[in-house]
Structure 1
């Protein structure tokens, strides 16, 4: 089971998603722990910045597909509640008064990509790979991915990432402006800590107000979009296409989608 480790590095709090057996897959325990850790960090005058990373060679492989398959046997209400956990973590990143920096090794997929997009700054190792492959299993993104992509990218590129679900490397995201800094493999955490350390010694109130102002520029966007993402995800999870997509992924075969509602 994944756990979230918290470690103080001077005025920087490092939060590490840790589950080597699933390449740091996400689930309710991580969402709850992450939201609570960020709430406490925002209230702690001894913390000036937060770094979010994954243990080992991967940031996060995203949601656990086996858990999603099991949810199809339940109710839409239960799925909505689970997605609200992820969205609570995302909202905690956005509303935390301290800057949050993602340090990405290896790559981020699905909800892991969404968490990375929610962060204020992103440091990624060269060659790291990112994928928003919900569509590959008949699902639509959650975790604010469509909101953040729409805010930061041309519509056509955002549509490519979400509709095709292909892999994109850190270098392309750096060129597009999503990744702030590239580093050599193995150096993402140290690079992020250096930037976080600088921010942590800066004017905290001014930085917090800048974060609020940037979010206010998209007033009314994220909360409404999170609700839309949740409802679309639930509807898609209980559609036959998701049943086929998840089964095909688990059986390592091409999916045969019906293509109709």
Structure 2
């Protein structure tokens, strides 16, 4: 994989780390391709139970590379759209990965970096991390699903303020708004994300993939639609070896071992 992304294993956790340190980990096509490939690798590897997405050099991601974006004004509109799809394919890859994806955020998560952090299934942030929907400050509009993700946990009024002011908010403030699973001291976000990922990685792989999808669909579905999806998944889950092991372990008063079921 490209050095725009560093990839390593920590037991059952795959760690994908943004490595464009000189530009505060601004996004690049190489990064998009590397993360998408890494998520596909995680999906296909039964030894991987969870993914942690983070950044090198004290920053998560400063968003799009403004020097590259400035050059796009000369391109035809359709070509500009095609280049944007690289980011949106990345967001979809995070959504569609059957393994839980956890963001570990230190430093800046701005613009599309904020979108990427919020696209993850869980978020661990340092108290002094800085999040911002910074697009308005450079005359641009949000992308990468930023408005969709923010709208899941703030009112329309707060969403509008965040987008129109580009206000910088700390990890502590974002935690108060709702989407932060774990809040840490500076420098501790990755270690805490790894602890969370390791705990989750020991769970039942197939059931967790269904649970991830249930949680993704819940904010958009009506109650009837969500009841239907839950019913479909419960019926499927009841016939699996995972549920045989899980229920058996509970009844036998022992710890379930789902690792032996991974091919």
TM over 0.5: yes
The aligned counterpart of 2:10 is 9
Larger Rg: 2
Structure 1 segment 71-220 matched on structure 2, within 5 A: 71-219=72-220
Contact map agreement 1:2 1:26 (CA 8 A) in 2: no
**Structure 2 CA distance for aligned equivalents of residues 2 and 108 of structure 1:** 20
**Structure 1 CA distance for aligned equivalents of residues 182 and 108 of structure 2:** 14
The aligned counterpart of 1:253 is none
Query: What residue ranges of structure 2 are gaps of 5+ in the alignment?
Result: 222-263
Contact map agreement 1:2 1:24 (CA 8 A) in 2: no
Contact map agreement 1:2 1:25 (CA 8 A) in 2: no
SS in 2 for 1:59: coil
Query: What residue ranges of structure 1 are gaps of 5+ in the alignment?
Result: 221-261
**Structure 2 CA distance for aligned equivalents of residues 194 and 211 of structure 1:** 19
Number of residue pairs matched by the alignment: 220
Measured after TM superposition, the shift of residue 81 of structure 1 is 1.0
Measured after TM superposition, the shift of residue 152 of structure 1 is 2.0
The aligned counterpart of 2:254 is none
**Structure 2 CA distance for aligned equivalents of residues 218 and 84 of structure 1:** 24
**Structure 1 CA distance for aligned equivalents of residues 136 and 169 of structure 2:** 15
Structure 1 segments, 4+ long, off by >3 Å, are none
Q: Which has the higher contact order (CA 8 A, sep 6+)?
A: 1
Give CA deviations for 1:218-238 in whole Å, capped at 9, x if unaligned.
459xxxxxxxxxxxxxxxxxx
SS in 2 for 1:139: coil
Measured after TM superposition, the shift of residue 107 of structure 1 is 2.2
**Structure 2 CA distance for aligned equivalents of residues 137 and 89 of structure 1:** 23
Structure 1 segment 17-96 matched on structure 2, within 5 A: 17-96=18-97
Measured after TM superposition, the shift of residue 136 of structure 1 is 1.1
Measured after TM superposition, the shift of residue 2 of structure 1 is 6.6
Contact map agreement 1:62 1:108 (CA 8 A) in 2: yes
SS in 2 for 1:26: coil
Measured after TM superposition, the shift of residue 91 of structure 1 is 0.5
The aligned counterpart of 2:224 is none
Measured after TM superposition, the shift of residue 79 of structure 1 is 1.2
What's the RMSD between the two structures over aligned residues? 1.4
